[in-house]
Amino acid sequence: MAGQRQREPGMLPDIIFSLAMLAISVIPLHFFLKQLDPTRADREAAAKKKKLIARRLGRPDIVTNQFEDVIAGDVVNPDSITTTFAQIGGLEETKRALQEIVILPLLRPELFKSGNLLRPVKGCMLYGPPGTGKTMLAKALAKECDACFINVRASTLQSKWFGDANKLVAAVFSLAWKLQPSIIFIDEVDSFLGSRKTNEHEASTSMKTEFMTMWDGFQTNEHARVMVLAATNRPWEVDDAILRRLPRSFEVALPDKVNRIEILKVFLRDENVESGFFGMNETSPVTKIAAATERYSGSDLEELCKAAAYGPVRDVLAAEQRARTES
């Protein structure tokens, strides 16, 4: 007994030594696991971008969680958007309608407080063939109303961890609320929120349900200056429940002759063209080009102009080649 009492005080240094060794081994392990995190770089970059956006909005002390930090990486600062309505040729009726439905409620919410009929819609959809300017219209909207542009990508919302996708969806709306006025833009909405099928994966169905649940919360909140803007080439493949939440839809169709002229004027206004190129008569070059490009989209017309602009470069190279050959 006396020997045991003499050995007991010696156990304390052993315990302290063991705890110290455990701490020394845990710290490198924690650092190593942190380095293995595949989303660490994205989270850090998103956190920096979030701080810049918050500082621009005059809210540097905005509090966000880790999921909102990831979504912040898809937030486009309106100051960095260069696209405006003036840079989009044609589509005058669509631009006017979007001015009334999207921009005015975000900039002048006091005009829409009286009665239920003037309550601003919380979602609208742009649909039409590829290359007709749907994404440009969405960016121009964010620029015109100085709203944060949250470009929702399906890859951002997907996670290998069960339940994280739903948290990221919730973070889209919670961050939009904190950064309002804001526009949540979903390009190719048919691939992300397409019609639900019986053989669809449970995680995909759960994510869609969470998205609609969060969206409904903003639908009923009259103080939320948040707009969901969707774009698609295949509106018939969008889930019916999503379409019900997009009460206003605008077709961005292939431009007619008049709109093709306006698009060409936008593309060529800063270029060196011959005198009378933009004449309004039927014999002017711009009118002839517009007449010969039926069923061309705005993107097709841009590529046509780029190809034509390369013509003088090709002539210079050919002349230099002839000069070298003759010499």
Q: Which residue has the tokens 């018939």?
A: 236
Residue 40 has pLDDT above 90, yes or no: no
Cα–Cα distance for residue pair 19/16, rounded to 1 Å: 5
DSSP string, 7-48: HGGGHHHHHHHHHHHHHHHHHHHHHHHHHH-TTHHHHHHHHH
Cα–Cα distance for residue pair 103/141, rounded to 1 Å: 7
- 83 and 223 housed in the same domain: yes
- 53 and 125 housed in the same domain: yes
- 196 and 321 housed in the same domain: no
Cα–Cα distance for residue pair 215/234, rounded to 1 Å: 22
CB 309 within 8 A of CB 142: no
- 247 and 261 housed in the same domain: no
Residue 37's pLDDT band (cuts 50, 70, 90)? low
pTM of structure = 0.73
Q: Which residue has better confidence, 284 or 2?
A: 284
Residue 29 has pLDDT above 90, yes or no: no
In a domain, 116, yes or no: yes
Q: Which residue has better confidence, 52 or 38?
A: 52
CB 97 within 8 A of CB 117: no
How many structural domains does the chain have? 2
In a domain, 275, yes or no: yes
Residue 35's pLDDT band (cuts 50, 70, 90)? low
- CATH number (domain holding residue 113): 3.40.50.300
Summarised one tens digit per residue, pLDDT across range 90-115 is 888 888 888 888 888 888 888 887 77
In a domain, 53, yes or no: yes
- 140 and 218 housed in the same domain: yes
Residue 2: the pLDDT is: 47
Residue that terminates a domain, selected from 251, 266, 292: 251
- 52 and 120 housed in the same domain: yes
Q: Which residue has the tokens 């010969």?
A: 292
- 70 and 170 housed in the same domain: yes
Question: What mean pLDDT, rounded, does the chain reach?
Answer: 80
- 207 and 68 housed in the same domain: yes
In a domain, 156, yes or no: yes
Q: What is the mean pLDDT of residues 178-186?
A: 86
- 54 and 174 housed in the same domain: yes
Residue that terminates a domain, selected from 220, 251, 282: 251
- CATH number (domain holding residue 276): 1.10.8
In a domain, 22, yes or no: no
- 222 and 293 housed in the same domain: no
Q: Which domain holds residue 175?
A: 41-251
- 207 and 138 housed in the same domain: yes
Cα–Cα distance for residue pair 68/157, rounded to 1 Å: 11
Q: How far is CA 86 from CA 136, 144, 176, 181, 318, in A?
A: 11, 10, 27, 22, 38
Q: Which residue has better confidence, 302 or 326?
A: 302
Residue 91: the pLDDT is: 85
Q: Which residue has better confidence, 32 or 152?
A: 152
Residue that terminates a domain, selected from 251, 283, 315: 251
Instruction: Give yes or no for a cis peptide into 312 (omega within 30° of 0).
Output: no
Summarised one tens digit per residue, pLDDT across range 256-266 is 999 999 999 98
- 262 and 243 housed in the same domain: no
In a domain, 5, yes or no: no
Q: What is the mean pLDDT of residues 246-259?
A: 90
Summarised one tens digit per residue, pLDDT across range 51-69 is 776 665 556 667 777 788 7
Summarised one tens digit per residue, pLDDT across range 147-174 is 888 888 877 776 656 667 788 888 888 8
Q: Which of 69-83, 210-224, 305-319 reaches the highest mean pLDDT? A: 305-319
In a domain, 246, yes or no: yes
CB 123 within 8 A of CB 297: no
Percentage of the chain exceeding pLDDT 90: 12
In a domain, 11, yes or no: no
